[in-house]
Chains A and B, each alone.
Chain A
Amino acid sequence: MKRSIVARIIENRCISGDVYRITLHAPTLVSSALPGQFVQVRVGATVQPLLRRPFSIHAVDVATGSLSLLYRVVGEGSALLAKVPEQASVDILGPLGKGFPCTDIKGTALLVGGGMGAAPMVFMAKTLVAQKIPVRFYLGLDQKNTALVDAFRELLPAEGCELILASDSKATGYFHGFITDALAKDLAFHAALKNGAQAFACGPWLMFRSFKDVVKHYDIKAYLSLEEHMACGVGSCLGCVVKQSNTDTYIKVCTDGPVVPLEMVDLDHNVI
């Protein structure tokens, strides 16, 4: 049975600005978690706020049985989570959802994370490198953020994973522009990169549209990790739906996703 568990907080610290990382002791959850899956977190002890908050699994450490979430304080729920002290506990449910397919990648894995969208990519990168699949991790930020980048580097594999940074504002060591432009540039300059490659994106909806243009141009198999407001997180409430392409039907982000093939999603219809 998949029960919600009460997990002790090992660390809950501010990484930079409004971005936090919480690490929880959850060995049973960790042992079955796959990259791209998420957890539903009870951010408060009472009925206000009522609903759990979904967070993608940022990283796991099987040896210590710990799981990390990277989150931004955007509202009441995340603000409460940021205040929970270390050694206190948090009720979490998971792992939930369909993760990233990590097998069958013949070439390079191109991971594209826009801002906080990059969070689940860390777990993915570690899993791929362990399988000897080369990884290029594209991290797009609004502006240079050394603390945040360092927090990513801390968890990313030292070898086998190249980190490419992009920023909307000019900064040394960063590609100046959209992260998808950085990806396009690499694909243009290195003809062999697309061979056998698969691409994975997580981030803002507008980024998905640019991502689609790039991967279609190079005919690269691609997946999206979606994010929507959720109530249940397990496929029963039907609240987290996104329109499928070429039909009038919807898919549930929590159970049909969060990770879905790019072509499954109607990127023109869903406007945020």
Chain B
Amino acid sequence: MTSPDISVKLGRLSLANPVLVASGTFGYGEEYQDFLELKNIGAIITKAITREPRQGNQPPRIVETTAGMLNAIGLANVGVEEFVRHKMPFLQDSGATVIVNVAGSTLEDYIHVVDRLEDVPGIVGLEINVSCPNVKQGGMSFGVDPKSLTEITRQLRKRTKRFLIIKLTPNVTDISLLAKCAEDAGADCLSLINTLSGMAVDIQTRRSKLANIFGGLSGPAIKPVALAHLYKVRQAVQLPLIGGGGIMSAEDALEFIITGADAVCLGTANFVDPASAEKITAGLQLYCEENSIQNINLLKGTLVC
């Protein structure tokens, strides 16, 4: 048998393999250059880029929890100007497949960043981080409100020809509804899930362990929630889906692929083992070989129910 084909197509975006690394867990790529070959990763989703540089929240910003962690980094990033001038050149030279994550506080912020990135070479797509509070809607995040989500997707769809991924938040009552809104408004792809809202308490000091009180939970603890959301979204839309949430191994990744993900996204796994993307890709390849699966797409959405 020839080597299994693990390349995937997410609609009009072709990737060499279905393993991506999540925004906020891989910096701007350069941080990992010593640990694995960046050009072999299916795609690198950069840290969220905002219009202006952001320092992020006061520490403590991270805390380990049972089989997971909370983060309240606060979208700390160098801002779009610095990103284009000083972070993109490295990524362009590395040959990596790059998706830029975009964040903002107002629709205008997102538009500014998307416009600025439009002619920058070396970017195959944009992932829109709609988990940010919409300050013009009282701080409610774009991604929890169908109207806001529709509006932001529609507006960005008008502005850019780029492959547009909407990253869904799980902190909603009905993720299928939000998924349909994004599809109807012109998204090319959906990625899910972002982190779950959580907190932790220090019983000695009786204080919240995060200065921000709330943080996003990630890691193995959230995998069951991520899979359930993926299942619901898969039933609701036709769009290609990037699934993630607690993936630490090829076996975990397969659960998402079988449930219907076209590609998978690793996040916290990168903190535990910087070479996770490489190892999990190899694991998927091996699984296909051992099970005589010629093409990984044959596994996709094969959940029996």
Which A residues are closer than 8 A to B by beta carbons? 1-4, 42, 47-52, 93, 228-242, 248-250, 255, 270
Contact = CB atoms under 8 A, between A and B. Distances in A.
A249 B271 contact: no
Contacts of A52: 271-272
5 contacts: A51-B64, A231-B271, A237-B62, A238-B61, A250-B76
A4 B275 contact: yes
Contacts of A240: 62
Q: Give the 10 A-B CB pairs with smallest separation, nearest first.
A: A239-B62, A236-B27, A232-B271, A2-B34, A236-B31, A47-B220, A235-B31, A231-B271, A47-B67, A48-B67
B67 A234 contact: no
A232 B266 CA distance: 14
B31 A51 contact: no
Contacts of B71: 231, 237, 239
Interface string B194-234: 00000000000000000000000001100000000000000
Given A50-B69, A230-B62, A234-B274, 6 more contacts: A1-B35, A4-B275, A229-B64, A231-B71, A236-B25, A237-B73
Contacts of A236: 25-27, 31-32, 47, 270-271
A249 B55 contact: yes
Interface string B56-86: 1001111110111101010010000000000
Contacts of B272: 42, 50-52
B248 interface: yes
Nearest to B219: A50
Given A47-B67, A51-B64, A250-B55, A238 B32 contact: no
Contacts of A2: 34-35
Contacts of B135: none
B201 to A, nearest CB: 15
Contacts of A50: 64, 67-69, 219-220, 268, 272
B174 interface: no
A235 B27 contact: yes
Given A47-B219, A48-B66, A270 B31 contact: no
A237 B271 contact: yes
Interface in B257-305: 268, 270-275
B172 interface: no
The B contact surface, by secondary structure, is loop
Nearest to B61: A239
A4 B56 CA distance: 29
A234 to B, nearest CB: 5
Contacts of B271: 51-52, 231-233, 236-237
Contacts of A93: 273-274
A237 B25 contact: yes
B202 to A, nearest CB: 12
Interface string B235-272: 00000000000001000000000000000000010111
Contacts of B61: 238-239, 241
Given A234-B274, A237-B24, A249-B55, A229 B36 contact: no
Nearest to A91: B273
Nearest to A230: B62
B273 A234 contact: no
Given A50-B220, A232-B270, A1 B59 contact: no
Interface in B74-106: 76
Given A4-B273, A229-B60, A248-B55, A238 B76 contact: yes
A233 B268 CA distance: 12
A229 B63 contact: yes
Contacts of B76: 238, 241, 250
Q: Which of B31, B32, B36 has the most CB of A within 10 A?
A: B31
B59 A234 contact: no
Nearest to A255: B31
Contacts of A49: 64
A250 B56 contact: yes
Contact of B59 (A4, A42, A47, A270): A270
A241 B26 CA distance: 16
B222 to A, nearest CB: 12
